[in-house]
Structure 1
Amino acid sequence: MLAPLASSLASFSSPVDISRDQAADEAARELSRAGYQHEPLFDRLRREFSQFIGDLMSGDGTGTGGVLSLVVIVVVLVVLAVLLLWALRRFSGSARTEPGAVFGRSERTAAEHRSEAERLAAAEDWAGAIRERLRAVARDLEERAVVAPLPGRTAMELAEAAGQALPSHAADLRAAARLFDDVTYGEADGTREGYLTLAALDERLRSARTGVTA
């Protein structure tokens, strides 16, 4: 396949002055012959890309052409980097938590969330204690099959699902969800009273049964 091109290039060995454009046209004619029609697509794309890069780099770096070539190369590299980062973020999306979700990335039991809540309350970190206590409520309801586990569930979605199963506690569950959202996403300060109210609800729900008023 290279024989026709080699023969053509050999004809230019004589000291004939030929312009770059004429040489490119001659090369294009050679490549369009039948011997190149069966060139694999990948090899063709690679060759054309290499030729494109070579044309860009052909400037001396000091003129307008050289500066433009450098700008184009930088833009291409930036675009490739952005696409790579986007792909990595998309593939790692399953490890992220949905905005507003009750649970973070860690998997804990209701007892572990409850113990952490009590530790935070002892340190007077009321916002953190409120968050962990509601997580204890959510995990306890899942462990007792009052609500089905649902990754990414928000506090209000939890309140709605649990309120349907435990209608006598529906209003308190919605109030607890609002409190959780306020201290977690609304930047509200947690209070001792708010935590004690949530802890009392947790204790009532632990003895509640589906469809039965506690």
Structure 2
Amino acid sequence: MVTAFLMDVPVDIDRDTARRAAQEELSDPKYQQARPSVLQQVAQWLGEQLEKLLNGLSSVVPGGIFGLVLILVLLIVLVVVIRLRTGKIARAARADRLVFDGKRQSADDYRRSAAEAAAAGRYDDAVRDRFRALVRALEERALLDARSGRTADEAAAEAGVLLPNVATELRHGARLFDDVHYGGREGTETAYRTLTELDERCRRERPVVMTAS
């Protein structure tokens, strides 16, 4: 088509005439349809810029493109870990681990509830309430300050400082509570009796004297 057009145009033409002829030819719809859309042009430009960026970074990153991809993956993993430890997920998980999730009862009330649950074979409740009795008793003795936002691990760690002779047993008791309370494990008679013995032992233990450094 272009060849036929050029054969029909006089050989001796001025610049304006040639420009008008070219504009008329290029205004043909088939040329407009052949041109890429604006979206395609933008996508192509972005692709070219991304390629330039990757090529530039790969030249300074050890391992080239592979090293760059590895760094990006590590950064993504780091962001996910931070979100899990400090974001909403972490806060929700921590809230589920709290020893007291409502109004406090006395240590004796928790012991009574635990004994009733154990007698009925409801060892999940028995384990939870016996550990709560233990922690509440420590609060009543002023070995722990009474606050609701405390996890089992935190209670065991704080109490273990003042009662070092049972520090290991307190950590084990906290795990028994956590396994039942938020870990989905079934409470057992053995776990209940272990916490009962630990509670009684903590009642007999005397705290160490903390000296100011």
TM-score, reference length from structure 1: 0.52
Tell me, yes or no, if structure 1 residue 133 matches structure 2 residue 125.
no
Aligned to 2:182: 185
Tell me how far apart the structure 2 counterparts of residues 136 and 156 of structure 1 sit (CA, whole Å): 15
Aligned to 1:171: 168
Q: How many residues align?
A: 116
The CA deviation string for residues 11-34 of structure 1, in whole angstroms up to 9 with x for no partner, is xxxxxxxxxxxxxxxxxxxxxxxx
Deviation at 1:98, TM superposition (A): 2.9
Gaps of at least 5 residues in structure 2 are: 1-93
Tell me, yes or no, if structure 1 residue 117 matches structure 2 residue 111.
no
Aligned to 1:209, the other structure's residue is in SS state coil
Aligned to 1:194: 191
Tell me how far apart the structure 2 counterparts of residues 177 and 105 of structure 1 sit (CA, whole Å): 19
Task: Name the amino acid aligned to 2:204.
Answer: S
Task: Name the amino acid aligned to 2:194.
Answer: T
Task: Name the amino acid aligned to 2:102.
Answer: R
Aligned to 1:98, the other structure's residue is in SS state helix
Aligned to 1:148, the other structure's residue is in SS state coil
Gaps of at least 5 residues in structure 1 are: 1-96
Higher helix share: 2
Q: Which has the larger radius of gyration?
A: 2
Structure 2 matches for 1:20-99, cutoff 5 A?
98-99=95-96
Tell me, yes or no, if structure 1 residue 208 matches structure 2 residue 179.
no
Tell me how far apart the structure 2 counterparts of residues 151 and 121 of structure 1 sit (CA, whole Å): 25
The CA deviation string for residues 115-156 of structure 1, in whole angstroms up to 9 with x for no partner, is 000000000111110000000000000000111122210000
TM-score, reference length from structure 2: 0.53
Deviation at 1:106, TM superposition (A): 2.0
Aligned to 1:162: 159
Aligned to 1:100: 97
Aligned partners of 1:172 and 1:201 also within 8 Å: yes
Equivalent residue in structure 2 for 1:142, among 132, 139, 143: 139
Aligned partners of 2:96 and 2:182 also within 8 Å: no
Tell me how far apart the structure 1 counterparts of residues 135 and 195 of structure 2 sit (CA, whole Å): 12
Aligned partners of 2:128 and 2:181 also within 8 Å: yes
Aligned-CA RMSD value: 1.4
Task: Name the amino acid aligned to 1:106.
Answer: K
Deviation at 1:184, TM superposition (A): 0.8
